[in-house]
Amino acid sequence: MMQHELACDLLVAGGGPAGVSCALAAARLGARVILCQDRPVLGGNASSEVRMHIVGATGLDAGVALETELREGGIVEELRLDLAVHNAQRSPSMFDLLLYDKCRREPNLTLLLNTTVDGAEVAGGSIQFVMATRASTEDRFRIRAALFADCTGDGRLGVEAGAPFRHGREGREEYGETLAPLVADHRTLGSTILFQARRHAQPMPFVAPPWIRKFKDEDFRLRPFGRAGSDLGLEYGYWWAEWGGCLDTIKDNERIRDELLAIVLGIWDHVKNRSKVDASHWALEWFGFLPGKRESRRFVGLHVLTEEDLFSSRVFPDAIAFGGWPIDTHPPEGVDAPDLAPCEQHHLPFLYDIPLRSCLSAGVRNLVFAGRNLSATHIAFASTRVMATCSAVGQGLGTAAALALRDRRTLAEAAEDAAFLHRVQQRLLRDDCYLIGVANEDRDDLVRAASAVTASSHQPGGEPELIRSGQTRAIHGRPSARVMHNLWDDVLRDAAPSSFPATPDGGSGIAEGDAAKPDSGTASAEWGAALRRVSDPRQVAPGSARHAHDSGALLVSSDRPAPSATTIAATCAPPDRARPGLHRWMSDPAAGLPAWIEVRWASVVVIGEIQLIFDTGLHRHLTLSQADGYTKKMQWGRPQFETVSDYVIEVQTDGAWTEVARERGNYQRRRVHTLPATRAVTALRVRVDATHGLDHARILELRAYR
Task: Kindly report the pTM of this predicted structure.
Answer: 0.92
pLDDT at 522: 39
Q: Are 700 and 614 in contact (CB under 8 A)?
A: yes
pLDDT at 497: 57
Per DSSP, the chain holds a count of helices (H) and strands (E) of: 15, 32
* Cα distance between residue 333 and residue 282, in whole Å: 29
Give the other-Cβ count within 10 Å of 356's Cβ.
30
pLDDT at 312: 96
* 223-233 as b/e: b if 16+ CB within 10 A: bbbbbbbbbbb
For the chain, give every residue range classified as CATH 2.60.120.260.
446-474+583-705
For the chain, give every residue range classified as CATH 3.50.50.60.
2-166+315-327+347-430
* 389-413 as b/e: b if 16+ CB within 10 A: bbbbbbbbbbbbbbbbbeeeebbbe
pLDDT at 449: 98
Q: Are 684 and 598 in contact (CB under 8 A)?
A: yes
DSSP-assigned states of every residue in 475-525? ------PPP-S-THHHHHHH-EE---PPPTTSSSSPPTT-SPPP-GGGHHH
Give the other-Cβ count within 10 Å of 591's Cβ.
15
Look up residue 540 and give its amino acid. V
CA 650 to centroid of chain Cα atoms: 34
* Cα distance between residue 699 and residue 508, in whole Å: 38
pLDDT at 478: 82
CATH class, range 2-166+315-327+347-430: alpha beta
CA atoms within 13 A on the CB side of 49: 16
As averages over each run of 10 residues, the pLDDT of the chain (706 residues) reads 97 98 98 98 98 96 94 98 98 98 98 98 98 98 98 98 98 98 98 98 98 97 85 92 98 98 98 95 98 98 98 97 98 98 95 98 97 98 98 98 96 95 98 98 98 98 98 89 76 64 39 40 40 36 30 26 44 95 98 98 98 98 96 97 98 97 98 96 98 98 98
DSSP designation for 576:
G
* Cα distance between residue 343 and residue 245, in whole Å: 13
Give the other-Cβ count within 10 Å of 181's Cβ.
16
CATH architecture assignment, domain 446-474+583-705: Sandwich (2.60)
Q: Are 158 and 367 in contact (CB under 8 A)?
A: yes
The most distant pair of C-alpha atoms in the chain lies apart, rounded to whole Å, by 83
Phi first, then psi, for residue 378 (nearest 5°) are: -60, -40
Q: Is 654 exposed, middle or buried (0-12, 13-18, 19+ CB in 10 A)?
A: exposed
pLDDT at 486: 87
Rg (CA), the chain: 25
